[in-house]
Structure 1
Amino acid sequence: MEFVEADGVQIAYERVGEGPPLVFVHGAAEDSRIWQPQLAGLADEFTVVAWDEPGAGRSSDLPKGFGLAGFADGLARLIETLELGPAHVAGLSWGGTVALELYRRHPGLVATLIMIDTYAGWKGSLPADEIRARVAHARQMLASPQEDFDPTLPGLFAGDPPVKFVPLLAAIAADVRPATLRYQLDIMAETDLSDLLPHISVPALLIWGQFDARSPLSVARQFEEAIPDTTLVTIEDAGHMSSLERPEPLNNAVREFCRAHPPSRLG
């Protein structure tokens, strides 16, 4: 892991390969390790960067009052420091919401948006009763004793988690910081970026698991209808974690899209 600093926050990241820049932004209760199949599978053609967001992995704890803008600005600092922009930016679930906020605040750093099983914030994508149910479940989970804390959610996979990734998922879950998850819960419940979608002027790729129970295909259709230049790829026999459950077709979709939309370097 390597590090950059953004306003006193140490941000850890992994960087592999050479070629057009491709930045991966993980979901809540995760860190950069979730992108192992993408780091391994795409480094032959791209400079692949996966961060540990502030409050996760080897990055610093969140400062008080940290909000969605803080995550987006930290991601912008990483892209700027590594001189990657404009980059292909791919976000999974919560990470897609961060990627959207990055585009809203720093559009010049984004060549394309790749949104994987994500949301325009929960408020921007889900019915109010579903949001209330998620908030109640998450608060109950966060109130559990540390030894009983388990951020694993039903519906992440179409079936059982892939056997080879079970140890990885357990290791990531063991390192989740409840304080970070609490911040993200509040942010997602109140965030509505749906008004941004019609104004996205870069090409967008939507990748959705066929059986995603967390962000169902109806959410993908909302994105597809709202964003002017967009392509939707459905990953068969995959749930919310399509990047782990079916990494090959997902990597192929990312590769084909990025080849078709090479970024113009800043300068």
Structure 2
Amino acid sequence: MPTVQVSGLEIVYDRVGEGPAVVFLHGAASDARMWRPQLDGLADAFTVVAWDEPGAGRSSALPESYRLADYAHCLAAVVESLRLGPAHIAGLSWGGTLALEFYRHHADLVRTLILADTYAGWKGSLPAQEVRARVEGARRMLAAPPGEFDPTLPGLFAGEPPAAYVPLLDAMEADVRPDSMRTQLLLMAETDQRDLLPAVSVPTLLLWGEHDVRSPPAVARQFQESLPDTELVVIPGAGHVSNLERPETFNRAVRGFCQAHP
């Protein structure tokens, strides 16, 4: 189990393949396992890395008062220790917000950005009323007794979860740590990265599920209008977790984009 020690934390990651590095950042209430189709599908041409961020999966517990910048600095230590940079940095949902924050603080380690079904923070991408509703929903979820805690967020898939990945989704759900999820969701609610977008100077790929209701296509258009060098690929039939719902289409887009920007 490969690990990196960062400021007293043990960070665990998966690494496969050889070639240009693509580093995948998972969403809230998940871990590196959500990138299994990408680890399997891209290792023939790339060094594919998926981490368990602090507080997720096999990594150490999340320190108190951890901020978005702390996640970014931790990721930088991982990328530097593995001598991967500059790398293609890919994130979905919360992971995409983290990818942008990583660029803010460590642009020298970023070759390109791949932002999938994500946000410039909830505050930066969603109406204030929607943000308030999500925060209230998160508080109700997190207030549930331990035996009734259900970290499943609504609207993740366009239809039923893909049958092939239901066991994987169940396993990740069972390992969610409420304190980590609380930090992730509350940080999303207060984050607004709109100031950063016009300053992003690396090529950026936007990957969006056609039927994403958590980060609707209007959010993708906001990114398109703000990022200087970007292309948008809409994934037919997919919802918010497009990498699991349509992995072949997702992988094909990542492969073509990364090969176009060596």
TM-score range, shorter chain: over 0.9
Task: Give the structure 1 partner of residue 6 of structure 2.
Answer: 6
Matched residues in 2 for 1:125 and 1:6: separation?
Answer: 31
Task: Give the structure 2 partner of residue 56 of structure 1.
Answer: 56
Any idea what the Cα deviations from partners look like across 1:39-74, whole Å, max 9, x if unmatched?
000000000000000000000001111110111011
Task: Give the structure 2 partner of residue 89 of structure 1.
Answer: 89
Task: Give the structure 2 partner of residue 260 of structure 1.
Answer: 260
Q: Structure 1 residue 218 and structure 2 residue 222: aligned?
A: no
Task: Give the structure 1 partner of residue 117 of structure 2.
Answer: 117
Q: 1:15-94 alignment to 2 at 5 Å?
A: 15-94=15-94
Q: Find the residue that maps to 1:106 and give its secondary structure.
A: helix
Matched residues in 2 for 1:217 and 1:5: separation?
Answer: 38
Q: 1:111-260 alignment to 2 at 5 Å?
A: 111-260=111-260
Q: How far off is 1:21 after superposition?
A: 0.3
Aligned partner letter, 1:239: G
Q: Find the residue that maps to 2:29 and give its secondary structure.
A: coil
How many residues matched? 262
Matched residues in 1 for 2:151 and 2:64: separation?
Answer: 22
Write out the 4+ residue segments of structure 1 that deviate beyond 2 Å after TM superposition: none
Matched residues in 1 for 2:149 and 2:170: separation?
Answer: 12
Matched residues in 2 for 1:205 and 1:247: separation?
Answer: 16
Matched residues in 2 for 1:130 and 1:176: separation?
Answer: 24
Matched residues in 2 for 1:54 and 1:131: separation?
Answer: 24
Aligned partner letter, 2:87: A
Aligned partner letter, 1:22: V
Matched residues in 1 for 2:70 and 2:9: separation?
Answer: 10
Matched residues in 2 for 1:56 and 1:194: separation?
Answer: 27
Identity within the alignment, %: 66
Q: How far off is 1:246 after superposition?
A: 0.1
Deviates most, 131-140 or 180-189 = 180-189
Any idea what the Cα deviations from partners look like across 1:15-37, whole Å, max 9, x if unmatched?
00000000000000000000000
Task: Give the structure 2 partner of residue 265 of structure 1.
Answer: none
- List gaps (5 residues or longer) in structure 1: 263-267
Q: Find the residue that maps to 1:152 and give its secondary structure.
A: coil
Any idea what the Cα deviations from partners look like across 1:97-144, whole Å, max 9, x if unmatched?
110000000000000000000000000000000000000001000000
Q: Find the residue that maps to 1:240 and give its secondary structure.
A: coil
Q: Find the residue that maps to 2:219 and give its secondary structure.
A: helix
Matched residues in 1 for 2:65 and 2:142: separation?
Answer: 19
Aligned partner letter, 2:126: L
Q: Find the residue that maps to 1:91 and give its secondary structure.
A: strand
Q: How far off is 1:146 after superposition?
A: 1.2
Matched residues in 2 for 1:36 and 1:11: separation?
Answer: 18
Aligned partner letter, 1:142: L
Aligned partner letter, 1:110: V
Matched residues in 2 for 1:189 and 1:41: separation?
Answer: 33
Matched residues in 2 for 1:189 and 1:162: separation?
Answer: 28
Q: Find the residue that maps to 2:201 and give its secondary structure.
A: coil
Q: Find the residue that maps to 1:155 and give its secondary structure.
A: coil
Matched residues in 2 for 1:127 and 1:81: separation?
Answer: 39
* Cα RMSD for the two superposed structures: 0.5
Aligned partner letter, 1:134: R
Any idea what the Cα deviations from partners look like across 1:172-199, whole Å, max 9, x if unmatched?
0000000001111221111000110000
Matched residues in 2 for 1:83 and 1:171: separation?
Answer: 31
Any idea what the Cα deviations from partners look like across 1:190-221, whole Å, max 9, x if unmatched?
10001100000000000000000100000000
